[in-house]
Amino acid sequence: MIDKLIETGSCYGMEMNVEKTEVMRTSRQPFPVKIMIDQNQLENVESFKYLSSILTNDGRCTCEIKCRIAMDKAAFNKKRTLFTRTLDLELRKKLVKCYVWSIALYGAETWTLCTVEQKHLESFEIWCWRRMEKISWTDHVRSEEVLLRVQEQRDILHEVRKRKANWTGHILRRNCLLQRVTEGKIQGGIEVTGRQGRRRRKLLDVLKERRGYSYLKEEALDRTMWRARFGRGFGPVVRQTTV
């Protein structure tokens, strides 16, 4: 494939810069890949940034979420003057979701969240409300009490699922390469090893928990039905925690 790319590029006077080209293999066991260009081997990397998102060779989004949360906390501290108590509570909440959450949830449409990532996002959500209300951890205020003060529920996971549902709906309504990639209908072998444990969650697993993929794709063709199913009711379960 690389040889074909180089051959096609040479027809238009384009050359591949070997020093700036890197290769990464995404797998459960990401062994190095040997790709040669003009007798030079491309460098194997464990992660790289593409369109402001961090991609890792294990295919997980843990590193990306941690980086997003760190960037978001820095942005919150820069904008802390906007969250003064002189402003209305509803206005302050809108500012948080507009200027802070938008940074944390960039690219969330493609995330496949496991339990650890969900806890990271929920902890960050409570952190935002605590900072907005200037509630210190030394005050020993429970998370449920913080949510009552700001008149909110745990909403950040619902926002992630809503964005994923909107984006997935557009993909399933089109007949394109991205749809086939999402469905896993790409030629190639599947590496099977003697690993233990259950399989990883896939991108569509969250959306098709209640019904199969055929029903999911049928509903995606009808925008009204799709919005009715993945509306406000499609959100995280409100848990009673004692954080």
Does 195 reside within a domain? no
Strands 47-50 and 53-56: antiparallel
Residues 135, 94, single domain; the answer is: yes
Residue type, 221: L
Token match 């809503």: residue? 162
Does 36 reside within a domain? yes
Q: Is 188 left (phi over 0), alpha (psi -120 to 50) or beta?
A: left
pLDDT digits 0-9 by tens, 144-190: 999 999 999 998 998 888 888 888 888 878 777 777 777 666 565 55
Residues 140, 72, single domain; the answer is: yes
Does 51 reside within a domain? no
Residues 204 and 213: beta-carbon distance below 8 Å: yes
Residue 241 has pLDDT above 60, yes or no: no
Residues 109, 94, single domain; the answer is: yes
Residues 166, 148, single domain; the answer is: no
pLDDT digits 0-9 by tens, 74-131: 888 887 777 777 888 898 899 888 888 988 999 888 888 888 999 999 999 999 999 8
Residues 96, 160, single domain; the answer is: no
Global confidence as pTM: 0.75
Residue 235 has pLDDT above 60, yes or no: no
User: Where in the sequence is the domain holding 217, given as residue range(s)?
Assistant: 156-185+202-231
pLDDT at 69: 93
Q: State what percent of residues in the chain have pLDDT above 90.
A: 16
Does 101 reside within a domain? yes
Q: Give the torsion sign (CA, 201, 106, 68, 179).
A: positive
Does 52 reside within a domain? no
Does 216 reside within a domain? yes
Residues 143, 164, single domain; the answer is: no
Helix, coil or strand: residue 23: strand
Number of structural domains, the chain?
Answer: 3
